């Protein structure tokens, strides 16, 4: 008869290998764990260095853990664990060191008194603030909101679509002196559109503020954790603060605007179809204006990025200038004081000029985008006037187009501004993630374990460790100094390693 503890469980040090097999990651060497890691603090001490977090799960029977996310690890005693990847009725599917899944029959009483943890992979800050990941995560988590918003937007467009049909039916009764009821009917349709628009704006703000607040807090905590734990002292605090302020500015736009604009895209297509049905080729005007606005937003983002990098370089030069000034004041002979002051004036002037260029470009961008909205309405009205003079369209088509153009102009501006915000968010997130990337070293790193018997084991630190063994100390006496320098050990461990290499 098979024994669960001996046949299907793994030791604490082997959990890393099994969990790496489950997620399809490269297999690291199992860490050496002497004590039984049966508590949350101890097991996280083993798993956290490998990017895995364990959280305790309260379960008294199989029905309690069936609703939990997988995988789960169950402590079965004697420093051994079951890695559960699926829960069935009176049975579980476990994963062993042989990379094979095995169904195990267990009783409900098996869970009594057992320590159960849910394990997940940790996301780095660079992964959490990725605009692409935020978009897919927000859409997957807010499906109900997205469906409600799209349905209300579609009803709004469908209501506008009834106006030209209505005007074609009552073509000879659109003059108020002949038929007041037809005019009030058109006004009633416009009132319905206004109410639907009001419903959209009020509901989406409340819904999105509740749904996105948790993501805001999670990102803020992740940033602070990376600042505290990473080697952030090598970066300027002003640079971190500047990037964080920039990300806070664009984050709200990404969270609160991205899904709304995705939902407005089919509405924009329906509006273009309505204008094409009413005015013919004039419906291509808003499409062309939208494309031009997006292209100009892309060009504006590139120009602002270049000016921002230039300003950042100037700020770094100013920091160097401060260091030179302090050094010259501390010296006896202050020969370069005049040159330093001249450089300071030139750098300050250049920095001011760059700031003015950035403000001027932002003002020009806002003016052009506002002008494009008015230009879109003006072109459509002019084309409609010429078509009315020629007798090609009805008055109802003009009324329908006028109502739609006002709504379409706001969608056009939001598309362009959102496109620039996404580009800015992508640049800021890449810069922030680059600050926390650990520098890659070409020299081999050595990891040293010191056992209670004072024996030293040297291993090559890579995806899969290769045991070198203590014999390396005898075979490489001529390179003792070089090996001792490459050992990333500090304190007592470093002194013991150095003494072991030199003796």
Residue 493 has pLDDT above 70, yes or no: no
Give the per-residue pLDDT at 300.
Answer: 82
DSSP 496: H
Tell me, yes or no, whether 39 and 79 share the same domain: yes
Categorize the per-residue pLDDT at 236 as very low, low, confident or very high, splitting at 50, 70 and 90: low
| Position with higher pLDDT, 433 vs 233 | 433
Per the domain annotation, does 474 fall within a domain? yes
Same domain, 44 and 111: yes
The Cα–Cα gap between 59 and 43 comes to 18
- Look at residue 257 and tell me whether its pLDDT is greater than 80: no
| Boundary of a domain, candidates 122, 151, 170 | 122
Residues 424 and 456 occupy one common structural domain? no
Query: Which one has a higher pLDDT value, 10 or 453?
Result: 10
369, 431: one domain = yes
**Does a cis peptide bond (omega within 30 degrees of 0) precede residue 71?**
yes
pLDDT band at 173 (very low <50, low <70, confident <90, very high): very low
Separation of alpha carbons 362 and 364, rounded Å = 5
CA 361/CA 351 separation, integer angstroms:
15
465 lies in the same domain as 392? no
Q: Are residues 400 and 269 in the same domain?
A: yes
Residue finishing a domain among 122, 154, 178 = 122
| Cα of 397 vs its chain's centroid, Å | 44
Residue 440 domain-assigned (yes or no): no
User: Which pLDDT band, with edges at 50, 70 and 90, does 95 fall under?
Assistant: confident
- Residues paired with residue 190 on neighbouring β-strands, in sequence order: none
In a domain, 410, yes or no: yes
Q: What CATH number does the domain containing 284 carry?
A: 1.20.1560.10
CB crowding 246-271: b at 16 or more within 10 Å, else e: bbeebbebbbbbbbbbbbbeebbebb
Q: Which residues pair with 458 in a beta bridge?
A: 448
Q: How far apart are CA 11 and CA 445, in angstroms?
A: 27
Same domain, yes or no: 220 and 332: yes
CB atoms within 10 A of CB 366: 11
Q: Do 362 and 391 fall into the same domain?
A: yes
Number of domains forming the structure of the chain = 3
56-73 pLDDT, tens per residue? 777 666 666 666 667 777
Q: How far is residue 240's CA from residue 253's CA, in Å, rounded to a whole number?
A: 20
pLDDT at 317 over 60: no
User: What is the residue-averaged pLDDT of the chain?
Assistant: 63
Comparing CA positions, the residue from 132, 121, 123, 138 lying closest to residue 225 is 123
What residues contact residue 177 under an 8 Å CB cut-off, 6+ apart?
none
Residue 472, pLDDT score? 40
Question: How far is the C-alpha of 415 from the C-alpha of 292, rounded, in Å?
Answer: 11
Report pLDDT for 412: 78
pLDDT tens-digit profile of 5-37? 556 666 665 666 666 666 555 555 555 554 555
Check whether residue 242 and residue 271 sit in a common domain. Answer: yes
Mark whether 241 and 296 lie in a shared domain: yes
At 105, list the tokens: 């029959």
> Which range of residues forms the domain containing residue 455?
446-502
Tell me the percentage of the chain whose pLDDT exceeds 90: 0
Residue 202 — very low, low, confident or very high, per pLDDT cuts 50/70/90?
Answer: low
User: Cα angle at 139 between 133 and 143, to 5 degrees?
Assistant: 155
Last residue of a domain, one of 406, 435, 464: 435
CB-based contacts of 198, cutoff 8 Å, min separation 6: none
State the burial class of residue 223 (Cβ atoms within 10 Å of its Cβ: 0-12, 13-18, 19+): buried
Same domain, yes or no, for 77 and 139? no
Q: Do 275 and 411 fall into the same domain?
A: yes
Query: How many other CB atoms sit within 10 Å of the CB of residue 28?
Result: 16
Please, how many CA atoms are within 13 Å of residue 350, restricted to the half-sphere of its CB? 16
Contact 307, 194 (CB under 8 A): no
Which CATH number goes with the domain that contains 108? 3.90.70.10
């Amino acid at each position: 008869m098979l024994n669960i503890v001996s046949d299907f469980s793994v030791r604490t040090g082997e959990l890393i290998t099994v969990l790496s097999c489950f997620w399809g990651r490269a297999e690291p060497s199992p860490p050496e764990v002497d004590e039984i890691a049966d508590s949350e603090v101890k097991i996280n001490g083993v798993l956290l260095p490998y990017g895995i977090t364990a959280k305790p799960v309260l379960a008294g029977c199989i029905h309690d853990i069936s609703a939990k996310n997988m995988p789960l690890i169950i402590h079965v005693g004697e420093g051994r664990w079951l890695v559960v990847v699926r829960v069935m009725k009176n049975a579980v599917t476990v994963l062993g060191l042989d990379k094979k899944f095995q169904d195990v029959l267990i009783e409900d009483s098996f869970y009594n008194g057992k320590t159960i943890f849910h394990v997940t992979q940790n996301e780095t800050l660079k992964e959490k603030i990725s605009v692409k990941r935020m978009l897919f995560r927000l859409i997957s988590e807010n499906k109900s909101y997205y469906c409600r918003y799209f349905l209300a937007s579609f009803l709004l467009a469908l209501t506008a679509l009834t106006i030209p049909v209505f005007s074609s039916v009552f073509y000879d009764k659109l003059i108020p002196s002949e038929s007041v009821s037809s005019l009030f009917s058109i006004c009633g349709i416009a009132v319905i559109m206004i109410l639907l628009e009001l419903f959209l704006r009020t509901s989406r703000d409340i819904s999105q503020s509740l749904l996105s607040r948790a993501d805001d807090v999670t990102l803020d905590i992740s940033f602070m954790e990376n600042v505290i734990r990473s080697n952030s002292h090598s970066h300027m605090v002003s640079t971190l603060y500047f990037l964080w302020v920039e990300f806070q500015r664009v984050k709200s736009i990404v969270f609160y605007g991205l899904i709304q604009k995705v939902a407005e895209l089919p509405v924009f297509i329906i509006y273009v179809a309505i204008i094409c049905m009413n005015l013919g080729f004039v419906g291509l005007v808003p499409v062309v204006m939208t494309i031009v606005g997006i292209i100009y937003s892309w060009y504006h983002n590139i120009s602002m990025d270049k000016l921002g990098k230039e300003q950042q370089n100037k700020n770094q030069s100013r920091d160097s200038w401060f260091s030179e000034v302090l050094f010259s004041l501390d010296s006896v002979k202050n020969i370069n004081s005049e040159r330093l002051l001249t450089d300071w004036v030139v750098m300050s002037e250049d920095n001011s000029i760059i700031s003015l260029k950035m403000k001027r470009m932002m003002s020009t961008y806002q003016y052009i985008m506002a002008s494009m909205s008015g230009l879109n309405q003006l072109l459509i009205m002019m084309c409609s006037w010429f078509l009315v003079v020629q007798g090609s369209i009805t008055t109802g088509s003009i009324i329908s187009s006028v109502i739609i153009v006002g709504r379409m102009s706001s969608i056009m501006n939001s598309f362009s501004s959102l496109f620039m915000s996404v580009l800015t968010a992508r640049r800021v997130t890449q810069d922030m993630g680059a600050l926390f990337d650990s520098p890659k070293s070409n020299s081999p790193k050595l990891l040293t374990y010191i056992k209670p018997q004072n024996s030293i084991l040297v291993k090559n630190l890579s995806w899969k460790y290769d045991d070198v063994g203590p014999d390396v100390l005898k075979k490489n006496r001529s390179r003792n100094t070089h090996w001792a320098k490459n050992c990333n050990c500090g304190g007592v461990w470093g002194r013991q390693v150095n003494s072991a290499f030199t003796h």
